[in-house]
């Protein structure tokens, strides 16, 4: 894959994509997050502890990050059994899974597993090609790891002993196999890249290599997530927050869809719409990070008619 995905920040300014497991913090009793500190290509990582087992959500990118996350989980979980799941297959979320192979029960939804199998190698090549050397370094010796269990259908429960985590997928949105995790009693929701805080939503729109986005479904899913009434939202990237994160992203998606559609009906092409609309969208969200993703979103919506 040689698509010109954005570099997020200039190469020389981009820090190494290292998960800082020492920063792990407890956001509710037995629910931990390793925050991303807004480092590009570092996700928020979740670790949820039950009486008998613990669930890790996302690994960071590459075997060393995966090892750091595994060590943090092992330390918090003691002798409990470990599970690992991913919010989606993207390298910064899941390409550390090999550190868990044989150490945890690895559990993905079927669409995610299939998307990983189909795109694994191309994404590895793309990331090595377009990002700075620190990213290639992080990805060195990365191996594909398939899940021990790929659940069928939209929903799966992970029983950690006295605590159940609900995993669910609603089909293609940010990727083909996005998955949320919900801890219902405490109403804590892990969203992956369906929702990033103060960050322009990532549209991995790299035609012809990758076009697996359904932003209409994505917006609808965010509405369904808001109906869960989460007290705490752990976004894929950015600060842990409230349901407001979900609503802000959904508003962005719906507004942009409408604005692009209006211009398409008026006969504008994608380049023209990007030129006119992207600066205005950027100005509307002055605090949001990674504005380079605006163009990708506009180009995606420009294909819808």
Binding residues for Zn ion (CB under 5 A):
90, 193
- Integer angstrom CA distances of residue 186 from 155, 282, 294: 19, 35, 34
Alpha carbon of 1 to those of 38, 67, 96, 121, 210: distances in Å? 26, 27, 21, 9, 9
Beta carbon of residue 80, minimum distance to Zn ion (angstroms, whole number): 29
**Nearest-approach distance from CB 283 to Zn ion, in angstroms:** 25
Q: How many whole angstroms separate alpha carbon 168 and alpha carbon 57?
A: 13
Q: Shortest gap between Cβ of 192 and Zn ion (angstroms)? A: 7
Could you identify the residue written with the tokens 């196999």?
Answer: 177
Of 203 and 264, CB closest to Zn ion:
203
Q: In the beta sheet, which residues pair with residue 66?
A: none
Q: Which is nearer to Zn ion, 8 or 98 (CB)?
A: 8
Residue closer to Zn ion (CB basis): 219 or 273: 219
* Least distance CB 93 / Zn ion (angstroms): 6
- Shortest distance (Å) from residue 81 CB to Zn ion: 28
Minimum gap (Å) between residue 156 Cβ and Zn ion:
20
Closest C-alpha to 59, from 94, 9, 25? 94
Measure the CA–CA gap between 301 and 204, rounded to whole angstroms: 12
Q: Which two tokens stand for residue 12?
A: 């020389």
Collapsing DSSP states into helix, strand and coil, what is residue 109?
strand
Report the distance separating Cα 96 and Cα 114, nearest Å.
18
**In a 3-state reduction of DSSP, which class is residue 297?**
helix
* For Zn ion, the closer CB: 193 or 210: 193
| Shortest Cβ 204–Zn ion spacing (Å) | 7
Q: Which is nearer to Zn ion, 57 or 82 (CB)?
A: 57
The residue among 199 and 302 lying less far from Zn ion, judged by its C-beta, is 199
Q: Which of 46, 285, 36, 63 is nearest to 188 (CA)?
A: 46
Q: Determine the Cα–Cα distance for residues 111 and 132; give it in Å rounded to an integer.
A: 30
DSSP 271: H
Looking at the Cβ atoms of 50 and 236, the one nearer to Zn ion is 236
């Amino acid at each position: 894959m040689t698509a010109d995905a954005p570099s997020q920040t200039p190469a020389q300014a981009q820090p190494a994509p290292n998960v800082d497991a020492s920063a792990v913090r407890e956001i509710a009793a037995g629910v931990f997050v390793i925050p991303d500190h807004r480092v590009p290509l570092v996700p928020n990582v979740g670790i949820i502890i039950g009486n008998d087992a613990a669930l890790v959500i996302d690994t960071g990118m590459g075997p060393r990050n995966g090892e750091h996350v595994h060590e943090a989980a092992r330390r918090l979980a003691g002798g409990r059994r470990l599970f690992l799941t991913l919010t989606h297959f993207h390298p910064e979320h899941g390409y550390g899974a090999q550190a868990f192979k044989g150490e945890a029960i690895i559990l993905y939804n079927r669409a995610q597993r299939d998307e990983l199998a189909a795109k694994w190698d191309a994404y590895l090549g793309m990331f090595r090609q377009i990002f700075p050397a620190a990213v290639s370094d992080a990805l060195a010796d990365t191996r594909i790891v398939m899940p021990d269990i790929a659940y069928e259908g939209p929903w799966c429960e992970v029983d950690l002993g006295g605590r159940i985590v609900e995993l669910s997928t609603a089909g293609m949105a940010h990727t083909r196999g996005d998955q949320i995790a919900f801890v219902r009693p405490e109403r804590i929701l892990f969203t992956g890249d369906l929702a990033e805080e103060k960050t322009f939503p990532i549209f991995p729109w790299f035609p012809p290599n990758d076009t697996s986005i359904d932003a209409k479904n994505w917006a609808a899913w965010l509405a369904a997530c808001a109906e869960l009434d989460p007290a705490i939202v752990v976004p894929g990237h950015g600060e842990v927050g409230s349901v407001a994160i979900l609503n802000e992203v959904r508003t962005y998606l719906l507004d942009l869809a409408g604005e692009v559609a209006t211009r398409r009906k008026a006969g504008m092409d994608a380049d023209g719409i990007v030129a006119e609309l992207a600066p205005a969208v950027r100005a509307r969200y002055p605090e949001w990070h990674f504005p380079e993703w605006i163009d990708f979103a506009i180009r995606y919506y420009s294909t819808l008619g």
